[in-house]
């Protein structure tokens, strides 16, 4: 059976969460398996440009090692009260998009509300709801931690739904 390797990324410049899932290309409704998950940590004392270089190196190594085929990343959401956070997040996303494009990988961008809705059924679910749902869906012994990891897993799970073709019914009743 042909397997896809999908990487979910929760971008940040202090911590970037990542998750690598293996899923059946022929049977997308089968439960995927978690191959690897974690966070890239960056020292907040480093200048932003140095953290971006570290992110590029870490992500390139992850995508090569995992033999990823699809990269899923959260779309940028800018809250009017925190425009600086959105700008910094945009820098991290730019590196992620660049690395995926350079490696010739399929890229799927997902709004946070779509990810939460796909995983929990609620587009405004809390981080703890996402953690516990991801734990249950993948039968993990504990909730993925920190939340950057559970968010990355949720992003990858949602990406699987987008990356695999939906079976077409034959039209017979």
* Residues belonging to the active site: 10, 74, 148
Nearest Cα to 151, choosing from 64, 82, 89, 94? 89
Q: What is the 3-state secondary structure (H, E, C) of 4-34?
A: EEEEEEECCCCEEEEEEEEEECCCCCCCCEE
Residue 85 has, within 13 A of its CA and on its CB side, a CA count of 10
Q: How many CB atoms are closer than 10 A to CB 13? A: 20
């Amino acid at each position: 059976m042909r397997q896809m390797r999908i990487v979910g990324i929760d971008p940040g410049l202090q911590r970037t969460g990542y998750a690598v899932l293996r899923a059946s290309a022929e049977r997308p409704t089968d439960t995927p398996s978690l191959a690897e998950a974690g966070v890239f940590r960056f020292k907040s004392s480093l200048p932003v440009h140095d953290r971006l270089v570290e992110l590029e190196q870490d992500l390139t190594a992850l995508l090569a090692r995992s033999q990823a085929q699809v990269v899923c990343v959260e779309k940028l959401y800018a809250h009017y009260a925190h425009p600086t956070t959105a700008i910094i997040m945009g820098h991290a996303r730019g590196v992620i998009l660049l690395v995926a494009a350079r490696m010739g990988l399929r890229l799927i961008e997902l709004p946070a509300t779509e990810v939460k809705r796909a995983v929990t059924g609620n587009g405004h679910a809390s981080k703890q709801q996402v953690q516990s749902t991801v734990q249950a869906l993948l039968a993990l012994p504990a909730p993925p931690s920190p939340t950057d990891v559970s968010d990355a897993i949720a992003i990858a799970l949602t990406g699987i739904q987008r990356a695999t073709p939906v079976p077409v019914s034959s039209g017979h009743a």
